[in-house]
Each structure stands twice: as C-alpha cells, then as structure tokens.
Structure 1
Amino acid sequence: MVQVENVTTAKPKIDGSIYSAPKGTTLPTDAKTALNAAFKPLGYISEDGLKNKNSPKSDSIKAWGGDTVATVQTEKEDTFSYTLIEALNIEVLKEVYGADNVTGTLQTGITVKANSKELIEHPVVIDMTVRDGVFKRIVIPQGKVSEIGDISYNDSDAVGFEITLTGLPDKDGNSHYDYIIAPTVTP
C-alpha cells in the first residue's frame, strides 16, 4: 500500500552533518550511538546538499540477430558528492589536502602544502534528519576523496571544496551502511 508518510526530504543536523575520522576509528553500527571523539565535523556544506551515486553499470550480451539475452554487471561505484564551504576550518583543509599537509591554527597561522601525495581512505559519517524527525546516518567505512573540483575565489560565492568521496568495500564487501530510526528513540 502506498503511504505519503514514507516520502521524505533531508536536512543536516543542526551541529553539522559530515564527520571524518582517521583510518581505524571505531565505527557506529546504528543511528543513535554517539560518534567516537575521533570523528571531526566538516562544517557547513553548500545548499546543493549531498548526492549519492550508487548505480551499477552493465554490458548487454546479444544473440545473433540482436536480441539481448543477458546483462552482466561490470562495476558498481558508490560515490558521494558535496561541497564543503568552511574554507577556514582546519578539519576541512585536512580532508582536502591530507592531514599531514596541514599544520597550525587560524590564530597562529595555517600552512597548507599542496602536493601529489595520495589521500588515505578513512571513515566518514553523514548524519541527517528526514521526515517527521526521523534520523538517518550513513556510515562509509572506507571513504576516499577521489576528486576535488575547481576552487573558485570571488566576491559573490563562498570559497568551497567540491568533493567526490568514493566508498570502498569494507571487509564484508559493503561500501556504505544506512541506519534509520524513528524520533521516539533518542539519536
């Protein structure tokens, strides 16, 4: 039976929505447990929100005469895209350039080294509220920043880092987990 109550939109949590932690950090396994202190918030993301592309790509096998007789999955990439707009947030800079390439504080001076060192996969958690206060948590056990868009510096837009994060398979072969819970249970 169709129910309009199952149709929803999504909003970030008030205190942030995307959290990043070093590789090896203990992951949450539900929507309500408080995050490990190693997870650091990445602040505001742009009004475009979060996009998850999780679609298989396939090749068709055709028989003589042109009929499609089978479809073979060739890949299934799981990517998340969003734009981090807190360009002065030290945690954002570490996410974009790598933790080893960012030192200092805003008060003492920040140094960012841009180089070709490969970024390391690490856990990322995305928290949001959907319809009627339902809480949703996406846990990406091994997220790897796989693309960074152009950085624009102008007087009409926030400086932002357009990120594509690829969810790599964990030991169980899963690239991400969704946990959803009703508001009657305190998240």
Structure 2
Amino acid sequence: MANEKNVSAAKPKIGGAISVAPVGTTLPTDAKSELEGAFKSLGFISDDGLTNSNSPETDNQKAWGGQNVLNMMTSKEDTFQFKLIEALNIDVLKTVYGEENVTGDLSTGIKVASKNEEPENFSWIVDMILKGNVLKRIVVPSASITEIGDITYKDDESIGYECTISAVPDQNDTSHYEYMIKGSEE
C-alpha cells in the first residue's frame, strides 16, 4: 500500500555534503559513522544539488519481421553531477585540478596549474538528511572527474566547478553504495 511517509527530499549535511579521500582510504559501511581523517570536505555545492545518472544502455536483437526478441545490456555508467561553489577552498581546487597542480594558500598566494593530465581517482562520500531526520550516505569507492562545465565569472553568480564524476566498480563489482538510517531526535 502506498504511504506518503516514504516520500522524501534531500538536504545536505550541515558543514558540507561531499567529501573526498585517496582511493584505498577505509570507507564507511553505514550512514552515520565518522569519516576517516583522510576525507576532506568540499564545502558548499550549488542549490542544484546532486544528480545521479545510473541507467543501463541496451542493444536490442530483433527477429525477422521486426519483433524484439532479446535486450542486451551494453554498458551501465554510474555518474554524479554537482557544482562545487567554494572557489577559494584549497581542497576543492586540488580535487578539480590535481593535488600536485595547486600550491600555496590564500595568505601566501595560490598557484593553480591547469594541465592536460589524466584525472585522479578519489573515494567520494555524499552525506544528506532526508525527511524525518533520516540520514543517507552515498559511498563511491572510486571515481574521477570526467567532465567540468564552463567556469563563469560574473558579478551576480558564484564561481563554481560543475563536476561530473564517473564511478568505476570495486572488487565487489559495485560502483556505489547507499546507506540510510533514522537519525537521533534532537
């Protein structure tokens, strides 16, 4: 039977919803445990939120006469899209441009070298809060940034990095995990 209590929306975890760490960092296996110290928060993302595209592509085999007789999955990409809007966050810059390509800090000066290099794979965590204080965590064991949208510099829009990350399967042939649990009442 349908139940409106199962309908929800997502808000980001306070303090930043998306975190990254080097691949191989111990990953959480639930929605509320503390993240390993290697994870760095990427701060605010735009109000467009997070979009997950996880749809298979298929090829169809037709019989003589045009009847579809077989659907074959040819690929299944698992991508996430979001816009990082903390353009002065050194961890955001290192994630977008590469750890070795960003040096310094705001007090001494930041240098970003935009290079034609393979993107680095990271482990990604997305923490959010659903209706009724349900905690949801998406764990992507390994993904790299495979697309960055145009970076716009305008006086009425925040600077941001619209990123698409593409997940690759782990040793269990899983591209991402999702965990949910009722949070504590405060």
> What is residue 46 of structure 1 aligned with on the other side?
46
In the superposition, the TM-score normalised over structure 1's length comes to: 0.97
The aligned runs of 1:1-187 (5 Å cut-off) are 1-184=1-184
The answer to whether the Cα contact below 8 Å between 2:127 and 2:136 also exists between their aligned partners in 1 is yes
Query: What SS does the aligned partner of 2:37 have?
Result: coil
Please state how far the C-alpha of 1:185 moved relative to its aligned partner: 8.7
Deviation of 1:143 (Å): 1.2
Q: Give, as a single letter, the amino acid of the residue that structure 2 aligns with 1:119.
A: P
CA distance in 2: counterparts of 1:154 and 1:87, whole angstroms: 13
Distance 2:105 2:20 in 1: 18
Letter of the structure 1 residue corresponding to residue 79 of structure 2: T
Report the aligned-residue RMSD. Answer: 1.2
What displacement does 1:184 show? 3.9
Q: What is the deviation of 1:24?
A: 1.6
Number of equivalences: 186
TM-score between the two structures when normalised by the length of structure 2: 0.97
Q: Tell me, which stretches of 5 or more residues in structure 2 are unaligned?
A: none
- 1:119-142 CA-to-partner distances (Å, cap 9, x unmatched) read 121100000000110000000000
Once the two structures are TM-superposed, the CA of residue 22 in structure 1 deviates from its matched residue by 1.4
Gaps in structure 1 of 5+ consecutive residues: none
Would the aligned equivalents of 2:133 and 2:185 in 1 still touch at CA under 8 Å?
Answer: no
- CA distance in 2: counterparts of 1:185 and 1:41, whole angstroms: 25
Letter in 1 for 2:135: F
Q: Find the residue that maps to 2:132 and give its secondary structure.
A: helix
CA shift digits 1:55-105 (9 cap, x unpaired): 001011100000001100000000000000000000000111011101111
Residue type of the alignment partner of 1:79: T
